[in-house]
Amino acid sequence: MDVTDHQPVHSAGCMRVSKLLSRIGDKWTVLVIMLLRGKSRRFSDLKRGVDGISQRMLTLTLRNLERDGLVTRTVTPSIPPRVDYELTELGHSLAVPIQALGAWAFEHMDRIDAAQATYDEKENAA
């Protein structure tokens, strides 16, 4: 990449990528994708597995994932209807970098905590 190239940062492609990263990078999406990695799950199972998520937020998250082609929703007629969610091939491909990012966070958590403590000490001393 030529660093002297001064193309506008807000090109149409960058805006689309930014919107997508914002959607798939939010904490609820990341947690839902990680829960669905191994198998399909029912809504209630996902609700129990994602600590702190409201029913409405889980519904919105799943709808967005389905719209983006990352999750499939299967309704089995019964009383009450059974609804299962499963990652698509595209969803599984997204789980790989999300898992790597999570592993990086766990590996470096202590160093980040130490850096934050050092920064906070300097800020409080000023």
Residue 80 has pLDDT above 80, yes or no: yes
**DSSP result, 97-113:** HHHHHHHHHHHHHHHHH
Residue 73 has pLDDT above 60, yes or no: yes
pTM: predicted TM-score of the whole model, two decimal places? 0.79
Give the pLDDT confidence of 82-118 residue by residue, as tens digits.
899 999 999 999 999 999 999 999 999 999 999 999 9
Distance CA 43, CA 83 (A): 7
Q: How many CB atoms lie within 10 A of CB 26?
A: 14
pLDDT range class, residue 7, cuts 50, 70, 90: low
